[in-house]
Amino acid sequence: MAKKEERDIVILNERIALGESRTVDFSIAKLYTSTKVEIPIIVERSKIPGPTVLITAALHGDEINGVEIVRQVIAKKINKPKRGTIICIPILNVFGFLNGDRNFPDGRDLNRVFPGTKTGSLASRVAYHFTKKVLPHADYCLDFHTGGASRFNAPQIRIKPDDEKLLELAKVFNAPFTVYSNTIEKSYRKTCFKMGIPSLLFEGGKSLDSNKDIAREGVEGIMRFLKHLDMLGSRHSVAVAESETVIIEKSKWIRAVRSGLLHVKIDCNKHVKKGEFLATITDPYGKMRFKVLSPNDGYIINVNQSPIVNQGDAIFHISTAIIPNTSESEEENLERV
């Protein structure tokens, strides 16, 4: 039985009964023009008790793909559960979203100040009220992100290593990749872990960009997750994934050994062989051309799409160890995205 099967739930002083739909405005601050800034929290409750799934995006205000994923879930009424409750917050960092910026106006990264404090910075106060008044209702959390700056992430779920329950849920979501990633102190994911709430972090695409393939992977993953919990409405059918998620146990960054113009020669999500040609770095004057080769066999799960790089910049993220999946061939996975 889900731990939050109350007949009524109270979110930010709003009481919501079974079978009700409600949009609750989360507002704790104003702009310096005295304009009120509100974070809509969209709550859909079935008449039948069940678990509560909290779906969030745009903890970083410039990560648009997550916003589009949650928007589609709402627009297609996927968030109307067969049983239980679905809470959607398409934009948690409205301040950053308005400015096309990763951080809050106070310069803080919301995903580095959890669980927040009542009298701290603006970001810390938002984290505090969210942690105290919204998060305790959740039985499961799905949080959507993108790569930062010009770094494009292949669609992936990140989970804490050695957590069998999270691994099982990641397999249910079935993104192309599942990446073992330790939780960071003061992150949303770490707070969920400390509160005993299973949390999946989705990464896909890059900031200030909307990608239809990434959005499709996110929406279909949510649908598979809800179906697993017997929460997906009968009007929705789940697309069968072409392959099972590739579980990446270890990975590393390939960094630029020269500064210059970056010319990427391979696609994100590709499986490469040791010594394979990945990119060139040139100078603007036609005198230098440096080849970037793969240091090992592995999947490329992040590509730096910036046209200019400095020495030491991360340009590719490559797997170095995967957990073999005997039910499918490597070639089947390569065609996933």
Residue 21 pLDDT > 90: yes
Query: Does residue 242 fall inside a structural domain?
Result: no
Judged by DSSP in three states, 227 sits in: helix
Query: Does residue 239 fall inside a structural domain?
Result: no
Residue 336 pLDDT > 80: no
Residue 122 pLDDT > 90: yes
Provide mean pLDDT across the span 280-298. 97
- The secondary structure of 164-213 as a DSSP string is HHHHHHHHHH--SEEEE-PPPTTSHHHHHHHTT--EEEEEEEETT---HH
Tens-digit pLDDT profile for residues 241-252: 789 999 999 999
Kindly state whether residues 191 and 278 are assigned to the same domain: no
**144: which strand partners?**
57, 202
Query: Does residue 233 fall inside a structural domain?
Result: no
Provide mean pLDDT across the span 291-312. 98
Query: Does residue 1 fall inside a structural domain?
Result: no
Kindly state whether residues 223 and 260 are assigned to the same domain: no
Q: How far apart are CA 21 and CA 23, in angstroms?
A: 7
Domain residue limits at 266: 249-334
- Give the contacts of 110 (CB within 8 A, at least 6 positions apart): 59, 60, 92, 93, 96, 103, 104, 123, 126, 127, 188
Query: Does residue 164 fall inside a structural domain?
Result: yes
Q: Are 249 and 321 in contact (CB under 8 A)?
A: yes
- Give the contacts of 122 (CB within 8 A, at least 6 positions apart): 29, 95, 104, 105, 106, 108
Kindly state whether residues 88 and 216 are assigned to the same domain: yes
Kindly state whether residues 204 and 276 are assigned to the same domain: no
Provide mean pLDDT across the span 142-156. 96
Tens-digit pLDDT profile for residues 209-227: 999 999 999 999 999 999 9
Kindly state whether residues 106 and 220 are assigned to the same domain: yes
Kindly state whether residues 313 and 218 are assigned to the same domain: no
**298: which strand partners?**
272
Provide mean pLDDT across the span 88-105. 95
Kindly state whether residues 286 and 216 are assigned to the same domain: no
Q: Which pLDDT value is given to residue 110? A: 97
CATH of the domain at 21: 3.40.630.10
DSSP designation for 265? -
Kindly state whether residues 168 and 112 are assigned to the same domain: yes
Question: Of 257, 289, 263, which is closest to residue 278 (Cα–Cα)?
Answer: 263
Q: How far apart are CA 152 and CA 146, in angstroms?
A: 8
Residue 268 pLDDT > 90: yes
Q: How many CB atoms lie within 10 A of CB 160?
A: 17
Kindly state whether residues 39 and 148 are assigned to the same domain: yes
Q: How far apart are CA 143 and CA 141, in angstroms?
A: 6
Q: Are 126 and 110 in contact (CB under 8 A)?
A: yes
Domain final position from 228, 257, 291: 228
Residue 239 banded pLDDT, cuts 50, 70, 90: confident
Query: Does residue 76 fall inside a structural domain?
Result: yes
Kindly state whether residues 262 and 321 are assigned to the same domain: yes
Kindly state whether residues 215 and 70 are assigned to the same domain: yes
Provide mean pLDDT across the span 190-194. 98
Query: Does residue 308 fall inside a structural domain?
Result: yes
Q: How far apart are CA 217 and CA 197, in angstroms?
A: 23
Residue 184 pLDDT > 80: yes
Number of structural domains (the chain) is 2
Q: What is the largest CA-CA distance in the chain?
A: 71
Kindly state whether residues 286 and 215 are assigned to the same domain: no
Cα angle, residue 172 at apex, residues 87 and 267 outer, rounded to 5° = 100
- The secondary structure of 50-95 as a DSSP string is --EEEEEE-SSTT-HHHHHHHHHHHHTTTTS-SSSEEEEES-S-HH
- The secondary structure of 118-151 as a DSSP string is TTS-HHHHHHHHHHHHTGGG-SEEEEEEEESTTE
Strands 314-323, 246-255: parallel, antiparallel or unpaired by DSSP? antiparallel
What's the whole-model pTM score? Answer: 0.94
CATH of the domain at 283: 2.40.50.100
